[in-house]
């Protein structure tokens, strides 16, 4: 039980450090939720893939407000956390790619002529 408590303490501490680092650049005109609840809502959407309607109900706000807060937080998080996120190179991606993808034509992840015919196809 002591180990679980120390892990939870660590996660809470890291979350608060990230929140304090990211929230300094966030400027909102109207606040129907405190900044930390907005941050928590954004993390819940990212981690749990909760829908806007679910989050709106949980936090007592409208779906459009959920969407607005999510967009603002994602933009700020992208700017503030960009220096600590390392994207793998193409070589690293291909070296760790599952072998099943090697049999696919063209380059995986690249789409030169992508389009969707869903609008014109009768279902």
pLDDT digits (tens, 9 = 90+) for 70-80: 999 999 988 88
Its pTM stands at: 0.60
Q: What is the spatial distance between Cα 44 and Cα 73, in angstroms, rounded to a whole number?
A: 12
Does the pLDDT value for residue 60 go beyond 90? yes
Average pLDDT for 47-56: 95
CA 2 to centroid of chain Cα atoms: 31
What Cα–Cα distance (Å) separates residue 45 from each residue in 6, 36, 121, 122?
A: 25, 14, 32, 33
């Amino acid at each position: 039980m002591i180990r679980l408590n120390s892990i939870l303490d660590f996660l809470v501490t890291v979350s608060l450090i990230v929140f304090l680092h990211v929230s300094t650049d966030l400027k909102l005109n109207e606040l129907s939720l405190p900044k930390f609840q907005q941050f928590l809502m954004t993390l819940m959407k990212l981690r749990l893939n909760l829908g806007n309607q679910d989050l709106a109900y949980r936090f007592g706000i409208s779906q459009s407000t959920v969407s607005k807060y999510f967009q603002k937080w994602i933009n700020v998080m992208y700017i503030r956390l960009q220096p600590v996120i390392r994207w793998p190179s193409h070589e690293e991606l291909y070296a760790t790619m599952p072998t099943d993808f090697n049999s696919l034509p063209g380059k995986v992840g690249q789409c030169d002529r992508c389009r969707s015919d869903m609008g014109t196809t009768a279902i």
